[in-house]
Amino acid sequence: MDRCKARLFRIWVILVVLMAPQVLVAQNISDLINKAGMQRMLSQKIAKCYFYVGKGIRVKTIRAQLNQAIDVFRKNHAELKAKVQDSEVQEVLSFVDFSFQEFDDLVTKPYSQKNAALVLDLSETLLETSHDVVLKLEKLSGKKKDRIVNISGKQRMLAQRIAKFYIAYQAGFKDSNSVYQLEEAVKEFESNLAILRADKRNTDRINFLLNKIGNQWKVVKGFFLDIRSGGIPMMVFISTDNITKIADEITGQYVEITARNQ
């Protein structure tokens, strides 16, 4: 009998150990979705900065932003790898390791058209894999309410994506795909903004911030879409960074709301 009890106790201990990582995920899921979503934005921001530096625009300031974005990407990636024990997520994160190593190497080298083409491609790869991590974490949470963190976080990425394709076009990547991707990012941003505005959990602060983005968006949207004319790269840089900053605060607000309701 004692042996049986001892065996059952050992089995119980093993089950507790195996289940512990999933408990950690459940407790921090919204924050992890936020960080994974931030990786999407950083993939676009790093590429954007590389093109701005290549164009010789505010080189010292923008290079500092590029280096900071790389550091944050590394930090977030390390945290995701440490805290998420799900095998499917770990598999995707391993692929991010490989892609980011090459990406990091390229954006810290002197600008060239050849490197810039690779930076564009790799920024798309990192975006796709980071988005896959978000979706897998969303699925792990099993809660539809975490979707709002994903959507809000995606606004940060879309703002940086618009700036990336805008400056890439000015840097000589004048293919139809650059124009198409920018226009699609504008459409998705507006669609997501409508979804966020309709969320019933919005606080006064969230509504204030959403209106702030909406008002700024009305002013700058036309400049984003006028990609072929060019001539206003710093306006695009500043306005998209402002929108990203506001969207980041909104996402943080949704993370807090979701955590309180768990």
| pLDDT, tens digit (0-9, with 9 covering 90-100), for 157-198 | 999 999 999 999 999 999 999 999 999 999 999 999 999 999
Predicted confidence at residue 94, as pLDDT, reads: 96
Predicted confidence at residue 154, as pLDDT, reads: 97
Among 9-13, 85-89, 109-113, 203-207, where is mean pLDDT lowest?
9-13
DSSP H helical ranges for the chain: 2-54, 59-83, 87-107, 113-141, 147-170, 176-197, 204-225, 233-261
Position 3 confidence tier, pLDDT thresholds 50, 70, 90: low
For residues 43-70, one letter each, b for 16 or more C-beta atoms within 10 angstroms of the residue's C-beta and e for the rest, the string is: bbbbbbbbbbbbbeeeeeebbebbeebb
The first and second tokens of residue 30, run together, are 């919204």
Residue-level length of the chain: 262
User: Higher model confidence: residue 214 or residue 1?
Assistant: 214
The first and second tokens of residue 114, run together, are 């050849």
Predicted confidence at residue 74, as pLDDT, reads: 97
The first and second tokens of residue 235, run together, are 């306006």
The first and second tokens of residue 191, run together, are 């669609």
Q: Name the strand (E) or helix (H) holding 82.
A: helix 59-83
The first and second tokens of residue 123, run together, are 């920024």
What average pLDDT does the structure give for the chain? Answer: 89
User: Is residue 193 within 8 Å of residue 213, measured between CB atoms?
Assistant: yes
Q: What is the pTM of this model?
A: 0.88
User: For residues 133, 134, 139 and 145, what is the CA-based torsion angle, rounded to 10 degrees?
Assistant: 170
Position 95 confidence tier, pLDDT thresholds 50, 70, 90: very high
pLDDT tens sequence across 206-253: 999 999 999 999 999 999 999 988 789 999 999 999 999 999 999 999
Domain ranges (residues) in the chain: 2-261
The first and second tokens of residue 92, run together, are 């995707």
pLDDT tens sequence across 123-157: 999 999 999 999 999 888 876 657 899 999 999 99
User: Is residue 126 within 8 Å of residue 103, measured between CB atoms?
Assistant: yes
The first and second tokens of residue 221, run together, are 């949207």
